[in-house]
Amino acid sequence: MAIGSKDKRHFFKTGMKGCPGTYEISDAELYELQQTLISMLKDFIKVFEENNIAYTLSGGSVLGTIRHKGFIPWDDDIDLNMSRKEFNKLKKIFDRELGDKYVLCAPELGRNHGMTHAQIKKKGTVYKAFNEVNKPDVGIFMDIFVLENTYNNIILRTIHGYLCLLWGYILTCRKTYDDFQYLQQHLLPGSDLEKAYSKKAKMGRLFSFMSVDKVAKKAYKCYSFCADNRSKYVSIPSGRKHYFGEMYLRSDMCKSIEGEFEGMKVNIPDGYSKYMLALYGKNYMEIPPEEDREIHSAIELKF
């Protein structure tokens, strides 16, 4: 049977099209999820301001702010950017200020997180995606992407970049190896996605002598290796375009201006136009046609 454009979007979003136990999130669930995220963001901003922790919105949340003054209507998450220095400050005060309601997950903190970016998850909730079958923390979440220092010397910066790419890929493969037995039951046999996961699982097996947490900590150490908090450039190795595709001037990303998101005052990067151009291309202010919008799905969702 031919796969329509809507089904293709669902397939590439989840890799689990038509399989028992997965379902497309309804409009009502999406609305409730967005309201939960707004409440979470208010909690975080309050703590950030009280503790003098700098942040900006990230990725699609920046686009939503400048294009919609809130969520991209079909979006199901809120993303934040923080410099390594500011994220380290957050780690120190997190349990005291937010630990009653939330858990902080990051590659350096263990708990089988297995991702190169950090997340704040709401306790007592569940938002389980297809790649979270072996994780203890599966609450409704917000992503945090850390702006890492980079070397001013182009040779050192290039070496650092390739090492970040290497350890990020090793972590993805190592985690896929653990998840593959489950994932294989839900991937379309012979599909490009099934082949890609199979390849990663085989690579991950080579590193199975190390736990996911150990590999994640090595990735973290590589990402955060440069200690120059005044470097000209910063990079987001954990971002969608990785180290070299997400390298920006520090002045563009670590300085902020005020924006409006769902009636809240929020911070977005001062150089947001360059940031959006890098992520979404020159037509980023245009609303994409319906067939190009993501469809949201989950294994389990509980508020």
Report the distance separating Cα 77 and Cα 261, nearest Å: 13
Within a domain: residue 108?
yes
Q: Letter for the amino acid at 187? A: L
Task: Identify the CA nearest to 253 among candidates 86, 85, 82, 51.
Answer: 82
Within a domain: residue 96?
yes
Within a domain: residue 7?
no
What residues of the chain score a pLDDT lower than 50? 1-18, 20
Within a domain: residue 3?
no
Tell the residue number behind the tokens 């702006």, with chain if given: 147
Within a domain: residue 9?
no
Which residues have CB under 8 Å from 120's CB, separation 6+?
40, 44, 98, 102, 103, 104, 105, 141, 142, 144
Query: What is the chain's Cα-based Rg?
Result: 19
pLDDT at 296: 74
DSSP structure string for the chain: -PPPHHHHHHHHHHS-TT-TT-EEPPHHHHHHHHHHHHHHHHHHHHHHHHTT---EE-HHHHHHHHHHSS--TT----EEEEEHHHHHHHHHHHHHHHTTTEEEE-GGG-TT---SSEEEEETT-EEE-TT-TT-S--SSEEEEEEEEE--SSHHHHHHHHHHHHHHHHHHHHHHHHHHHHHHHTTSPTT-HHHHHHHHHHHHHHTTTTS-HHHHHHHHHHHHT----TT-SEEE-TTSTTHHHHTEEEHHHHSSEEEEEETTEEEEEETTHHHHHHHHH-TTTTSPPPGGGS---EESEEE-
Within a domain: residue 1?
no
pLDDT at 74: 92
pLDDT at 293: 79
Condensed to tens digits (0 to 9), the pLDDT of residues 24-73 reads: 788 899 999 999 999 999 999 999 999 999 999 999 999 999 999 999 99
pLDDT at 300: 84
Tell the residue number behind the tokens 């938002």, with chain if given: 127
Task: Identify the CA nearest to 71 among candidates 30, 127, 29.
Answer: 30
Report the distance separating Cα 84 and Cα 146, nearest Å: 6
Report residue 145 as tokens: 């992407």
Domain that holds residue 269: 16-302
Number of domains in the chain: 1
Residues 129, 22 contacting (CB under 8 angstroms): no
Within a domain: residue 254?
yes
Within a domain: residue 10?
no
Condensed to tens digits (0 to 9), the pLDDT of residues 188-203 reads: 788 888 888 899 999 9
